[in-house]
Amino acid sequence: MKLSTRDDIEAPIETVFSVVSDFARFERMAQAKGAQVARTDDLTEAGIGMGWDARFRFRGKPREARLELTRYDRPEALTVTSRMGGIESEFTIDLIALSPRRTRMIVGLDLRPRTLSARLLIQSLKFAKANLERRFTRQVARAAREIERR
């Protein structure tokens, strides 16, 4: 199942990329919401191979996810792949400079089931795809406005 959206941001592409690639900030945000996050690499700068193990509760059950930065093309794109149970996902952010002070951000999420139970879960999500797409678009727009405020 794929979700995607785009939003134009009144900020230079370098600024937008700096915000969307601030992985330490995302770690702190996840921890503030109760997740346990641990780095699995020893890189000192952001780059391909960065990884995280995360433990959190979702829908009342403890979950574990392994995430890895698989694409890091400054300042145009990044991709984080993850595996949680039987679901593999790919989260991509592509940036296009529309002008020196305006950037288009294209965000995509691709969920792929790898087990029968994950296939059933993804199938049930497809029934609510319109609602999920609205929520996804709203979250990306909220993030875009936050980047503009910075």
Domain ranges, ordered by start, for the chain: 2-149
Q: Burial letters for 24-42: b for 16+ Cβ neighbours within 10 Å, e otherwise?
A: eeebeeeeeeebebeeeee
Per residue in 34-50, pLDDT (tens digit) is 999 999 999 989 999 99
Looking at residue 123, its pLDDT comes to 92
Per residue in 58-104, pLDDT (tens digit) is 878 899 999 999 999 999 999 999 999 899 999 999 999 999 999 99
Interatomic CA distance for residues 89 and 1, integer angstroms: 9
Q: What is the pTM of this model?
A: 0.91
CB 27 within 8 A of CB 40: no
DSSP class of residue 74? T
Q: Which two tokens stand for residue 114?
A: 């790898």
Instruction: Give the residue carrying structure tokens 């709203």.
Output: 138
> Which ranges of the chain does DSSP label H, i.e. alpha helix?
13-20, 23-32, 116-127, 129-149
pLDDT at 116 over 90: yes
Per residue in 15-33, pLDDT (tens digit) is 999 999 999 999 999 999 9
* Angle made by CA atoms 101, 106, 107, in degrees to the nearest 5: 130
Per residue in 123-132, pLDDT (tens digit) is 988 889 999 9
pLDDT at 150 over 90: no
Count CB neighbours of 103 within 10 A: 25
Q: Which two tokens stand for residue 84?
A: 């949680």
* CATH fold of 2-149: Alpha-D-Glucose-1,6-Bisphosphate; Chain A, domain 4 (3.30.530)
Interatomic CA distance for residues 144 and 30, integer angstroms: 19
Interatomic CA distance for residues 56 and 64, integer angstroms: 7
